[in-house]
Amino acid sequence: MSDAGGAAIEDYYLEERLFPPPEGFVDQAVVADPAIAEHAQRDVEGFWADQARALDWFDEWHTVLEWDLPFAKWFVGGTLNVSYNCLDRHVAAGLGDRVAIHWEGEPGDTRTITYSELLADVERFSNVLKGLGVRRGDRVAIYMPMIPELPVAMLACTRVGAPHSVVFGGFSPDALRDRIDDAQAKVLVTADGGWRRGSVVALKENADSALADTASIEHVVVARRTGESGGVTPMTEGRDHWWDEVMAGAEASCPPEHMDAEDLLYLLYTSGTTAKPKGIMHSTGGYLTQVAYTHRAVFDLHADRDVYWCAADIGWVTGHSYIVYGPLANGATSVMYEGTPDFPDKDRWWDIIERYGVTILYCAPTAIRTFMKWGNEFPERHDMSSLRVLGSVGEPINPEAWVWYWTHIGGGHCPVVDTWWQTETGAIMISPLPGVTTCKPGSATFPLPGIGAEVVDDAGEKVERGGGYLTLTRPWPSMLRGLYGDPERYRQTYWSRFEGRYFAGDGAKVDDDGYFWLLGRVDDVMNVSGHRISTAEVESSLVNHPSVAEAAVVGAKDDTTGQAIIAFVTLKAGQDETTEHGEDLRGHVARHIGSIARPRTVIFTDELPKTRSGKIMRRLLRDVAEGRDLGDTTTLADPRVVEEIRRLSTTRPTED
């Protein structure tokens, strides 16, 4: 393995202490009984069938798995409804008054929503969708801030059998348009605006510009969030409808559709190695089975008393699986927070944990490292003794951050679960079990029961000990069912590199004790604060700018965000290499894709290093970027950088 984008293996051995389950962690993981792991070993399909039985089915399946590589069908012949499993069955079991969501807005407003109330809203909104012509199988696009209407819209889609495509509210109009077009969505659900660090993000305005050149959307539903603070929201007569008005006119009751286990539940677009994002397809029965199972097992969930907080955005897969579907399928009580950790001050997170008595916290290493940097005084002045389990996701967690999390947030009495998974896997695949697994800080430890994971070398041979590529050796219920509209790209991307194996795109190492260490992407996908961004997507945005001749983008190691985006840009003749020009290009990318894709640094160079076949030598550029102290802004055509690139490209063998 030559090109791991993440940290070097040595970085992971700074901390060699073992962390056995903390003393006093008496609530042994509910699904971590060794007999269950043994069952998964002996009879993996029987094991998954047991997990599927934890859901309510209208008709039972006749076949657990049909596997025709790379196409899997799980629980074939079974029918169920996701919103029924997340809502109706809990209310029917007498849990209607249990809080489903403790919601907190960025400005400090709050809402408490019980399971009965959530069901009522979902039924009404299901009727709204039907009234707008949405039928089973029609796609619905959702572009919303972190407000309760977002899970309501998603669950209503599942109730009527319309696959949703949630587009992160930080994405640009262009990104929204591309996703709507690819899915040919019929209805868009959005909001007037969203709050971000005290100002309004004009979502409806963005939506309008996205819709200016798409044809498939017939109706738009607009939830009120920012109201007059965001100015007047333009509404198009006949097409646009206010959420509260259509809800007021909708029937209260809507029976759930009986969906096939293999029906498409949702699409979620994720960055790959080309400029075109991939529409990851998730199914109904297998997906819900595995997210519900992992949410119980990995967090040792006791739904009757835990208060669970996943501090992700629902616009990403973590939010789909572990804010919406997993917790609700399990009847859990969740906190949902609209804002960022530093607004209005650095106490906000710890204050939320204290006020709601959060017992399980799930967040990203980038957040943990940021808190570390701010200093211990912020968590220290809050009572966080309610916490019981801590989770991490999105990128490799460095041992220092892991130990800080354990010590300063968990107080030494909370197991830390470092969970590896992807948009494509739908659910957690590699993780410790709290109260069971002895941890090594920085290692995601072992594949969960039922999961086959192995590290292989370039030739696809299993590596018993040492480094290589992470692969999955057998199908799993929540695996992606394909890429929307492109079965060939699905096979090519995931199932062709190593015969008979799913290739995750991550480098990994197995140590002498069999622990898995994830080392970052080995392809051209960057990971910035746990968000996937493709180098090709940013490059293509840059070369769209009239002044740019060529661009090469790399992810360089960053202490806080994991990786930072560094763009090497060659301008067209006669263009000036000025700071303003660099700023303009950074802004251009942010507008074109979204602020998460804004390059941290733009470096002008008069040539880009290439192989003889014309491939840009990214590894070399990354070395240049990582070997230098680059600022948070434009670096002018630094003669030393250009010289360094030139020198390296003549002294290094080409990478054909």
Copy the structure tokens of residue 645: 């690139």
The encoded tokens of residue 509 equal: 């190492």
- If the CB atoms of residues 408 and 532 are measured against ligand 7RM, the closer one turns out to be 532
> Is there binding between residue 510 and ligand 7RM (CB under 6 A)?
no
State the DSSP code for 197.
T
In angstroms, the first-to-last Cα distance of the chain is 16
- 235-274 binders of ligand 7RM (CB under 6 A): 270
Find the part of the chain contacting ligand 7RM (CB under 6 A) among 115-123, 457-465, 517-525, 564-572.
517-525
What is the nearest approach in angstroms of ligand 7RM to the Cβ of residue 472? 12
Compare residues 200 and 397 and give the one whose CB is closer to ligand 7RM. Answer: 397
* 219-223 vs 63-68, strand pairing mode: unpaired
Q: Which is nearer to ligand 7RM, 144 or 317 (CB)?
A: 317
Q: Angle between the 579-592 and 535-543 helix axes, to the nearest 10 degrees?
A: 120
By CB under 6 A, tell whether 505 contacts ligand 7RM.
yes
Give how many residues touch ligand 7RM by CB under 6 A: 24
Give the nearer residue to ligand 7RM in terms of CB position, either 81 or 423: 423
Indicate the helix (H) or strand (E) that contains 583: helix 579-592
Angle at 332 between CA 288 and CA 58, to 5 degrees: 40
Q: How far is the CB of 486 from ligand 7RM (least distance, A)?
A: 18
Give percent helix, percent strand, percent coil of the chain, each to the nearest 5. Answer: 35, 25, 45
Q: Which of 70, 105, 319, 396 touches ligand 7RM (CB under 6 A)? A: 396
Of 9 and 95, CB closest to ligand 7RM: 9
Binder to ligand 7RM among 521, 581, 598, 618 (CB under 6 A)?
521
Q: Are strands 164-166 and 264-270 parallel, antiparallel or unpaired?
A: parallel
- Considering beta carbons, is residue 441 or 530 the nearer one to ligand 7RM? 530
CB of 563 to ligand 7RM, least distance (A): 10
Considering the complex, what minimum distance in angstroms separates the CB of residue 444 from ligand 7RM?
Answer: 5
Minimum CB–partner distance for residue 503 and ligand 7RM (Å): 11
Question: What does the per-residue mask of binding to ligand 7RM show for 303-342, with x meaning CB under 6 A?
Answer: -------------xxx------------------------
| Closer residue to ligand 7RM, CB minimum distance, 114 or 529 | 529
Selected from 422, 544, 547, 611, the binder of ligand 7RM by CB under 6 A is: 422
Answer yes or no whether residue 527 interacts with ligand 7RM by CB under 6 A: yes
DSSP readout, 397-427? PPHHHHHHIIIIISTT-S-EEE-B--TTT-S
Q: Among positive and negative, which fits the CA dihedral 394, 11, 389, 349?
A: negative
H/E run at residue 179 = helix 173-183
Given 180, 444, 451, 480, the residue binding ligand 7RM (CB under 6 A)? 444
- The H or E element containing residue 66 is strand 63-68
CB 180 within 8 A of CB 188: yes
Using the rule CB under 6 A, which residue among 117, 138, 338, 418 binds ligand 7RM?
A: 418
Using an 8 Å Cβ cutoff, are 282 and 480 in contact? yes
Phi, psi of 125 (to 5 degrees): -70, -30
* Least spacing, CB of residue 404 vs ligand 7RM, in Å: 16
Q: Closer CB to ligand 7RM, residue 394 or residue 434?
A: 394
What is the C-alpha to C-alpha distance for residues 284 and 396, in angstroms, rounded to an integer? 29
Full strand arrangement of the beta sheet holding 110-114: 110-114, 99-104, 333-337, 307-310, 360-363, 389-392, 416-418
Beta-carbon contacts of residue 531 (< 8 Å; ≥ 6 apart): 316, 394, 596
573, 612 Cβ separation under 8 angstroms: no
Nearer to ligand 7RM, 309 or 421 (CB): 421
Separation between Cα atoms, residue 623 and residue 641, nearest integer Å: 11
401 belongs to the binding site for ligand 7RM (CB under 6 A): no
Binding characters for ligand 7RM, 376-395, by CB under 6 A (x = yes): -----------------xxx
Q: Does 532 bind ligand 7RM (CB under 6 A)?
A: yes
Nearest approach, Cβ of residue 7 and ligand 7RM (Å):
10
Of the ranges 186-194, 323-331, 515-523, 535-543, which one interacts with ligand 7RM (CB under 6 A)?
515-523
Q: Which residues bind ligand 7RM (CB under 6 A)?
A: 270, 316-318, 393-396, 418-423, 444, 504-506, 518, 520-521, 527, 530, 532
